[in-house]
Amino acid sequence: MKKHLLKMDDLSKEEILDILNLADQLKYEFKHAIPHEHLKGKSLGMIFEKSSTRTRVSFEAGMYQLGGNALFLSSRDLQIGRGEPIKDTARVISRFLQGIMIRTFSQEEVETLAKYSSIPIINGLTDSEHPCQVLADLMTIREYKNTLEGLNVAYIGDGNNMANSLIVGCLKTGMNFSLASPKEYMPDENYLLRGKELSKLECTKFTITHSPSEAIKNADVVITDVWASMGHETEAKNRIKAFKDYQVNSELMDLAKPNAIVLHCLPAHREEEITEEVLEAHASEIFDESENRMHAQKAVLVKLMKN
Residue pair 257/222 in contact by the 8 Å Cβ criterion: no
Q: Verify whether residue 203 is a known catalytic residue.
A: no
| Number of other residues whose CB lies within 10 A of the CB of residue 247 | 19
Cα 148–Cα 193–Cα 224 angle in degrees, nearest 5: 50
- Residue ranges for the known binding site for carbamoyl phosphate are 52-55, 79, 103, 130-133, 265-266, 293
User: What does residue 259 show for φ and ψ, rounded to 5 degrees?
Assistant: -100, 20
Q: Verify whether residue 133 is a known catalytic residue.
A: yes
Q: Which residues contact 264 (CB under 8 A, 6 or more apart)?
A: 223, 224, 225, 273, 274, 279, 286, 289
What's the length of the chain?
307
Q: Verify whether residue 91 is a known catalytic residue.
A: no
- Residue ranges for the known binding site for L-ornithine are 161, 225, 229-230
Candidates 137, 158, 220, 225; catalytic one: 225
Q: Verify whether residue 82 is a known catalytic residue.
A: no
* DSSP 3-state of 99: strand
Q: Which residues contact 268 (CB under 8 A, 6 or more apart)?
A: 226, 274, 279, 286
Candidates 4, 38, 98, 130; catalytic one: 130
Residue pair 4/277 in contact by the 8 Å Cβ criterion: no
Candidates 158, 220, 265, 297; catalytic one: 265
| Number of other residues whose CB lies within 10 A of the CB of residue 184 | 9
Candidates 133, 142, 220, 295; catalytic one: 133
- Residue ranges for the known binding site are 52-55, 79, 103, 130-133, 161, 225, 229-230, 265-266, 293
Q: Which of 266, 234, 9, 104 is nearest to 112 (CA)?
A: 104
Candidates 98, 293, 295, 297; catalytic one: 293
Candidates 4, 38, 103, 142; catalytic one: 103
Q: Which of 276, 256, 289 is nearest to 180 (CA)?
A: 256
The whole-angstrom separation of Cα 49 and Cα 47 is 7
Cα 263–Cα 16–Cα 151 angle in degrees, nearest 5: 45
Q: Verify whether residue 130 is a known catalytic residue.
A: yes
- List C-alpha distances in Å: 147 to 12, 88, 151, 152, 296: 17, 44, 8, 11, 17
Q: Verify whether residue 77 is a known catalytic residue.
A: no
- Catalytic residue list: 103, 130, 133, 225, 265, 293
